[in-house]
Amino acid sequence: MKKILIITAALLIILTGCNGEGDEPEIEMPEITEEGSKITGVNILPEKVLAGSGEKIEFKVEALLDDDTKIDITSEMNFRSDTDKIKFEGNKALVGEETITGQEHVVIAEYTGEEDVNIDLYATIEIFNSLEDTIDENDVITNPEAYDMVVNKQRNLNADYVPEDLVDLEVETCLPNPEINQLRKEASDAITKMFKTAAEEEGLELVARSGYRSYNTQDSLYNSIVNNHGQDYADKYSAYPGQSEHQSGLALDITAASVNYQLEDIFGETEEGKWTKDNAHRFGFIIRYPEGKEDITGYLYEPWHLRYVGKNLAAKIYREDTTLEEYFQNKER
């Protein structure tokens, strides 16, 4: 039997599921009664959920009655989200394809049952594109164009992968090879802003040294190191073709006059290197290979190697003082 709600008063309910900032709004419950029972609260479930591209999440809204029972009022709610990346079909959210891990989107559920009752409930969908879902049986990553993609010694870029939106860098560069003076558009725009800000705020002059590198360039580089120094040396100091983040067009090695435009550990102790470590996340970059994390990232400390992941994810990785690998592993658990 369908339960009938008798609404006797109209009041606004705001439950802050999504942000803890500001004053807690006063929650006044409308006097919705159901055959004599009074509703004492409403819940949206799940209130916070991790979901990746292509996933569907079903939301439910339940009303709590003063006799400790619950009734499902999902069908009387209208669901929407604050982004076009999440589309609703009734109470089911479909997460779109171009999402970035770390983004948080708000889901709003509005009561549609009675005109004079106003109930808004909020939930959060935190984007998480898991590592398992983005690799095929040959250890080739399936989302090379995603800003949150992870390439490392276990996860390869396809030999054919070339980003579609490479552009010439607008910042100062120090090597003549046109290929490496490119990045993907969004990463290039971000580095332009970052270098400009470093100059304006602190008078620091940062210089780009090496950005995009094709599979073939990495292949020649790796093989020349093997020929000159042997395989062990090459595996320690260079990336195997397909495993270089530079092929993604989202990685850039930066330098400065204070280290003679070279890539040296000492860059991390220069004013330019320290500013970069503390500020790169503001522009969507992380220091991809931090000191002491060699066992996790598979690469030695590289204070000069920046990776674009977008501002949300970069800020989280910076705040948690973690690595890209650990961020995914910790969420996966």
Instruction: Kindly list the residues in this chain that would bind Zn ion in the complex (CB under 5 A).
Output: 253, 305
Least Cβ distance, residue 175 to Zn ion (angstroms): 13
Whichever of 198 and 287 has its CB closer to Zn ion, that residue is 287
Q: Where are the beta strands (DSSP E) in the chain?
A: 6-7, 12-15, 32-34, 37-45, 48-51, 56-58, 60-65, 70-72, 77-81, 86-89, 92-95, 104-111, 118-127, 166-168, 182-184, 207-210, 251-255, 285-289, 302-308
Q: How far is the CB of 117 from Zn ion (least distance, A)?
A: 58
Distance (Å, whole) CA 23 – CA 82: 22
CB of 224 to Zn ion, least distance (A): 17
Strand 118-127 versus strand 32-34 pairing type? unpaired
Question: What residues have CB less than 8 Å from 200, skipping those under 6 apart?
Answer: none
Contact 273, 290 (CB under 8 A): no
Beta-carbon count within 10 A of 214 CB? 20
Could you tell me which residues are beta bridge partners of residue 92?
Answer: 58, 89
Nearest residue (beta carbon) to Zn ion = 305
Distance of closest approach, residue 208 Cβ to Zn ion, in angstroms = 11
- Residue with Cβ nearer Zn ion (208 or 317): 208
Q: What residues contact 46, with CB distance under 8 A and at least 6 apart?
A: 57, 59, 123
* Closer to Zn ion by Cβ: residue 105 or 305: 305
Please identify which residue in the block is written with the tokens 């990553």: 141
Eight-class DSSP state of 239: P
Place of tokens 């970052």: 194
Q: Whole-number minimum distance, CB 239 to Zn ion, in Å?
A: 8
Shorter beta-carbon distance to Zn ion: residue 34 or 253 = 253
Of the pair 252, 317, the CB lying nearest Zn ion is at 252
Taking alpha carbons only, the member of 112, 211, 98, 196 closest to residue 148 is 98
Nearest approach in angstroms of CB 154 to Zn ion is 18
**Nearer Cβ to Zn ion, position 105 or 246?**
246
Shortest reach from residue 129's CB to Zn ion, in Å: 23
CB of 310 to Zn ion, least distance (A): 19
CB-count burial class (<10 Å; 0-12, 13-18, 19+) for 89: exposed
Cβ–Cβ under 8 Å, residues 313 and 307:
no
Q: How far is residue 87's CA from residue 177's CA, in Å, rounded to a whole number? A: 44
Between 85 and 305, name the residue whose CB sits nearer to Zn ion: 305
Q: Which is nearer to Zn ion, 305 or 316 (CB)?
A: 305
